[in-house]
């Protein structure tokens, strides 16, 4: 079960890291200073959460690698992040749709991990939950603001809500390494999030005068290392310095 736990912890860490990296691309480019700072702070929250998880994974592996090596020296196929978090930012509406879908899921995940029999995962979730609740509030409020705003803002966020939808199916999927952990009470069953996740999404979309997408297209594979072409570009940017100068220390 140790190998399964390592894979699961890396999945959690990779997901937070890659989304944090994506949001970091907005630094200095957002439409107003206040939201530039807000997006960057969410990015830092996620990267901080990934650090705690990578540290735990390094202890479990006990093979000489530290958090930096797990982040900077693993290849694309070794990453287990959700596909949703690696898709491009696009415009603010697309970034927001991706963030909203993920935040609702992430809050459910952290709440469920509070009941984990793994004390380390439980502690990380407890520490992260306050930040994650803010993320949900921020993204939901912006979905409502754009959806119930001008005709252009409504059309843009509806278009993004529709386009990002196909990447959400994986949120409620179960990877092979999760099955035993679910049975042992270590990891929550992601499929149990589907109804509360859908209810929250519907609630916010209704308030935003938006419609739930009807597209049945589904994409998955990130949790087991099958990624889009986008992840390779993210890692090339993220890992460039460490791979150019192996063993570099700050």
pLDDT in tens, 118-168: 999 999 999 999 999 999 999 999 999 999 999 999 999 999 999 999 999
pLDDT surpasses 90 at 1 = no
Structural domains of the chain in order of their starting residue, each with its CATH number: 2-244 (1.20.1260.10)
Alpha-carbon span 71 to 7, nearest angstrom: 14
d(CA 90, CA 94): 6
For the chain, helix, strand, coil in percent to 5 are 75, 0, 25
How deeply is 235 buried, as exposed, middle or buried, from its count of CB atoms within 10 A (0-12, 13-18, 19+)? buried
The reported pLDDT for the residue numbered 41 is 97
pLDDT digits (tens, 9 = 90+) for 26-70: 999 888 888 989 999 999 999 999 999 999 999 999 999 999 999
Using the predicted structure, report yes or no on whether residue 250 has a pLDDT greater than 70.
no
Q: Give 23: exposed, middle or buried? Use CB within 10 Å, 0-12, 13-18, 19+.
A: buried
In terms of pTM, does the model score above 0.85? yes
Rounded average pLDDT over 72-93: 97
- Say what the pLDDT of residue 216 is: 85
How many C-beta neighbours within 10 Å does residue 69 have? 17
Q: What is the pLDDT of residue 217?
A: 87
């Amino acid at each position: 079960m140790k190998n399964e736990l390592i894979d699961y912890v890396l999945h959690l860490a990779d997901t937070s890291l890659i989304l944090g990296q994506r949001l970091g691309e907005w630094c200095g480019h957002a439409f107003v200073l206040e939201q530039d700072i807000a997006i960057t702070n969410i990015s830092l929250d996620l990267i901080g959460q990934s650090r705690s998880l990578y540290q735990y994974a390094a202890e479990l592996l006990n093979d000489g690698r530290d958090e930096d090596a797990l982040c900077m020296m693993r290849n694309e196929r070794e990453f287990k992040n959700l596909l949703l978090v690696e898709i491009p930012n696009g415009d603010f509406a697309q970034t927001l749709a991706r963030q909203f879908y993920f935040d609702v899921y992430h809050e459910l995940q952290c709440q469920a991990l509070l009941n984990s029999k793994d004390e380390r995962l439980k502690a990380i979730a407890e520490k992260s939950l306050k930040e994650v609740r803010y993320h949900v509030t921020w993204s939901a409020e912006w979905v409502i603001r754009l959806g119930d705003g001008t005709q252009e803002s409504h059309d843009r966020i509806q278009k993004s809500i529709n386009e990002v939808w196909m990447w959400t199916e994986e949120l409620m999927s179960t990877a092979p390494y999760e099955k035993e952990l679910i049975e042992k009470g270590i990891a929550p069953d992601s499929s149990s999030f589907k109804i509360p996740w859908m209810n929250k999404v519907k609630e916010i979309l209704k308030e935003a005068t938006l419609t739930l997408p009807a597209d049945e297209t589904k994409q998955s594979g990130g949790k087991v290392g099958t990624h889009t072409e986008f992840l390779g570009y993210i890692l090339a940017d993220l890992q460039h310095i460490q791979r150019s100068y192996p063993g570099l220390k700050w």
